[in-house]
Each structure stands twice: as structure tokens, then as C-alpha cells.
Amino acid sequence: MKKPLVSIGLVFAVLTVLSLIIVFQMGGTLILYATQWTEELPEVVVEDPSVISVTRITPVTVEPLSGRPLVEIELQGHHSGRTWVHIGNEAAGQGQSHLIVVRGFHNMVFDQSRFNSDGNRWAALIGLGLLLAASVLLWRHARARCRNRFYAARTVLVFGTAIFVTGMTLIFGFACLISLPNPRSEVLGLWDLFSQSGYYFLMCTSPVLIAMGIALALSNVALVRHEGMRLRNLLGVLTLLLFIAGIAFILIYDDRFFTGSLTDYKIHSALTSVSTTCFVFLESMLFGAVFAALIAAMHEPEKDKDYVIICGCQISKEGKMFPLLRGRVDRALEFAAGQEAAGGKPVVFIPAGGKGSNECRSEASAMAEYLREKGIPSERILEENQSTSTYENMRNARKLIEQRGGQNARIAFSTTNYHVFRSGIMAQRAGMQAEGMGSPTRWYFWPNAFLREFAGLLTAEWRLIVSTLFLLILFFGFMAFTTI
């Protein structure tokens, strides 16, 4: 399970090292624009020529307001340091000065004027290429998990990470598309924009997030009407309030009053960057849970099965099945009929579910009776009537299969569509490889199912998620603070 992630990490690390080597060797150029006050080109004086040197002065265009030509002044960086560059025309009595800084890391050349840096343009493209490569590798890994070990919290993590990286890639790619073709674009501003990608990601996805929160709240209203006032039936309302509070805080903080201090602005930029990035990372994990649950619900198992486990749920006080449970049995019957029609073997049904405190008989007994009414012979029905949870459904069913010598049996399970992914995880924990299928149900069960898978991910993979959030805070906080 961890080998694909390790491979992705190694490839990404190698590409990163290579890109840094290329950028270090590339150096940097800086292009300043100044007014040509007379017919003579302005004089450019560099106080410390060991840091930068002038490579070209060329008239390029005319200022719309003054009608005077602009000159393009190209500077070449040599090593880290800072120096003043004075641009002027003594005869016209005009001039201006710029403090130019050459950074060792990325070999960036910048000041407060408009500029571009050829080296950093390549660095931006290399960074975009790395993000694209990471996106492709993550989606390939997600696809592989769908074929192999799909039923796991790690699958939600992979889907969520793929969504997060892809979103950041699209935002940075759009910024590159707009900025890089313009010769007067600010490449440092491009890196600053990337440091705020989380903010733009949140702004783009906030309508979807709010819509999901409203769906969660409405589903909770329906659940409370059908199942009563329980804490688990109110989690959607609490989640909607959390969504609104998080987005509102970020928007209010983004517009707060500043003292005018550059340090204050850097701190504000860094806090905005890390808070929005962490928020959208967790948001992406929620979207990953949605992806995983929907894919699981739409999956159709291979028609080569020996056993079909039917997961139980509550029956009436009279011992009759409610529509929810009947749908699970009908889905298993539909699959079995399809397998036989395709030339496959008849399956053995394992209705699984014990007797609840308010039930007159076991759920397995009610399902077995229904199967017999549908023409399934008793020798193809194997009741599991001791379990009280989905995990016990799977664990006890596995034991029954092994008692019949089915250690290498091909197994499927039938449950309600919103419950397929969670049941698959329980089957994995019970030591059983099984494919799931889902029966349709009412819409209001779905939003809570998404939330449950998201909570399951946070519980199962909390160490990895906390570590990732810590790295995101360091990376985006440093980038936002230093590119201002």
C-alpha cells in the first residue's frame, strides 16, 4: 500500500533537485523600464558591478500620457548581494534609483519596480511542470487503488490529495498563462500569487462547499424527522456552520486594517496563505470522501462470486423487513440472477444480522425467509444470526465461509448504496477481500455518509494528515512571507 506513495515521493524529490540545479545554473536577468527624457539614452550606473551588470539598453515603446519613449534596461545577476542602480540623464536633470537585490535561492533579482527574470520564468515553468507531474501520478495511484485496495481510508486520502494538488496546479497554471507571455510581468508577483493559491482555491470552490453544507443541513432535518433527535443526525448542521464560519473568518481577516508596516503585511500574507491552504486541503479530503463513496456505490462486482453477504439492518417489531433491508436483499438477488445469466455459478447467500433488543427475531432470519419466498433453496442460504454491527457481519460471515472450506472463495456483499464504502472498509478489517454493491435509497442518507467517511479518514490517518498540514504551513508560510 505504501510503495506507490514512496515511489511518487522519490520521483517528485528527484525532479525537485534537478529543477533547483537548473535554476542555480541559470542565473537571473532583470528588466527595468525607464523614461527616455531626451534623444540620448539614459546613463545607467551600478554601484557594485560585482553583484549585477548592465547587458542592454533599448528603446521599446512610448508612454501614452507623456508621449516619451520608454527604454528597456536589462541587468544580469552574478551572485547574491544588493546594490543601487542609478538611471538618469544629466542634461535633462532627471533620474531615478533602484535598490536591486540578488537572492541566492532561486537566484532571484528584484526590487520594487516592475521587472521580469528569465531565470525565474524557467523556475515558474519547472514548478508548474512538477505540479502537473504530481497530479498525474496521484490520479494514476488513485486509479490503481480502485482496482486493488479500494476499501480503505487511505483511498480517501489519495483522492483528496489528488484533488488538492490538481486545484493548486490549475490556479498556478492560469497565473502562468496570464503573466509569463507579458514581458513586463512581475515574476516575483507570480510566486506571491502561488503562495496565495489556497485563497483562490477557496474562492472558486466556496459555492460548492456552501451547497454541500446546505445539503448536509437539509439531510439532517429529514433524518431527525425519520429517526429522531440524535447528535449524529445533527452533524450536517454543525458542519454547515463550520463552513460558513471558516469562510467568513478568512474574508474578514483578509480585509482587516493594517498599520502600514511591511512586516505587518508579510505576517498577514503568511497567515492568510497558511489558513486558506490548510482549509482547502481538508476541504479536498471531504471531496475525496465524496468521490470514494460515489465510486463504491456505482461499482458492479465481477460475476464470478461464490458467496454474497447481505448486511443486515433494523427490522420491524413484527419481524418484517423495512424497505431499506429489502432493497439490499433484492440487490443481491439481482446480482445472482445476472451472474447465472452470464454463465456463472449459483451463489450462496449469507444474510447477516442478529436479533436486536426491540426485534422479535434475527435480521438474518427475516432475510432468509424472504430469499426462500423468492425461490432460493435452503442449501444456498447460510444464516449469520449473531452479529450486531457491520464489522461483525463481515467477521462472522468470513468464519462461516472458512468453515465450509472457502478460504479462497470469491466474495461480494450487498448493502445500501451510501453504505458500500464503509462496509468495504469493515470487510478489509475483518480480513476479507470482497467487492461491494449498493441498493438505492433516499437522498438524505447520502450527505451524512460523505461526512462519516471524512471523519473516518481523519481518525484513521490523523498522523499523516497532521504531518502534511505542518509541511504546508511551513512551505506556504515561508513563501508568502518572503515573496513580498
pLDDT at 370 over 80: yes
Give the distance from CA 261 to its chain's centroid. 35
Average pLDDT over residues 380-397: 93
Q: Which three cell numbers stand for residue 454?
A: 471524512
What the block records as the C-alpha cell of 278 is: 490548510
DSSP string, 90-128: TTTTEEEEEEEEE-SGGG-EE-SS----HHHHHHHHHHH
Q: Which pLDDT value is given to residue 307? A: 96
384 to 183, 242, 306, 312, 400: CA distances (angstroms): 72, 42, 16, 10, 8
What value does the CA radius of gyration of the chain take, rounded to a whole number of Å?
31
- Name beta bridge partners: 412: 308, 435
Residue 291's DSSP bridge partners are none
**Biggest CA-to-CA distance, the chain:** 107
What mean pLDDT, rounded, does the chain reach?
A: 81
Rounded CA gap, 227 and 445, in Å? Answer: 11
Are the C-beta atoms of 360 and 375 separated by less than 8 Å?
no
The SS3 of residue 300 is coil
pLDDT digits (tens, 9 = 90+) for 208-258: 877 877 877 777 777 667 666 666 666 667 777 777 777 777 767 655 545
- Of residues 184 and 427, the one with the higher pLDDT is 427
Determine the Cα–Cα distance for residues 422 and 407; give it in Å rounded to an integer.
23
What is the rounded CA–CA span in Å between residue 319 and residue 368?
12
pLDDT higher than threshold 50 for residue 24 = no
Give the residue with greater pLDDT, 277 vs 258: 277
Q: Is 414 helix (H, G, I), strand (E, B) or coil?
A: strand
Cα of 289 vs its chain's centroid, Å: 10
Contact by Cβ (8 Å): 307, 380: no
Which of 154, 128, 112 has the alpha carbon at shortest distance from 3?
A: 154
> pLDDT per residue over 116-171, tens digit each?
444 556 777 778 888 899 999 999 999 998 887 899 889 999 999 999 999 999 99
Element (H, E) at 228: none
Q: What is the pLDDT of residue 352?
A: 94
Burial (Cβ within 10 Å: 0-12, 13-18, ≥19) of residue 255: exposed
Q: Could you tell me the residue ranges of all domains in the chain?
A: 29-116
Give yes or no for residue 190 having a pLDDT over 50.
yes
pLDDT confidence bin for 410, thresholds 50/70/90: very high
Region of 74 please: left (phi>0), alpha (psi -120 to 50) or beta.
beta
Residue with the bigger pLDDT between 430 and 223: it is 430
pLDDT reported for residue 26 = 46
Chain-centre distance of CA 107, in angstroms? 32
Specify the pLDDT at position 213: 77
Residues 2, 23: Cα–Cα separation, whole Å: 32
Closest CA to 59 of 83, 75, 76, 35: 35
**CA gap 442, 376 in Å, rounded:** 28
Alpha helices (H) in 259-346, listed in sequence order = 262-298, 323-341
Residue 395 and residue 408: Cα distance in Å, rounded?
Answer: 16
The highest-level CATH class for domain 29-116 is mainly beta
Is 265 buried (19+), middle (13-18) or exposed (0-12) by CB count in 10 A? Answer: middle
Between 184-193, 305-314, 471-480, the lowest mean confidence (pLDDT) is in 184-193
What percent of the chain clears pLDDT 90, i.e. is strictly above it?
A: 33
Question: What pLDDT, on a 0 to 100 scale, did the predictor assign at position 23?
Answer: 47
Q: Which candidate, 272, 441, 414, places its Cα nearest to that of 347?
A: 414
Q: What is the pLDDT of residue 364?
A: 93
Where is pLDDT greater, at 226 or 349?
Answer: 349
| DSSP codes, 44-79 | EEES-TTTEEEEEEEEEEE-TTT-PEEEEEEEEE-S
Packing angle of the helix pair 390-403, 420-429 (nearest 10 deg): 50
- Contact between 99 and 54 (Cβ < 8 Å): no
Q: What is the reported pTM?
A: 0.73
Q: What is the model's pLDDT at position 209?
A: 79
> Looking at the DSSP assignment, which residues form a beta bridge with residue 439?
416
Q: How much of the chain exceeds pLDDT 70, in percent?
A: 79
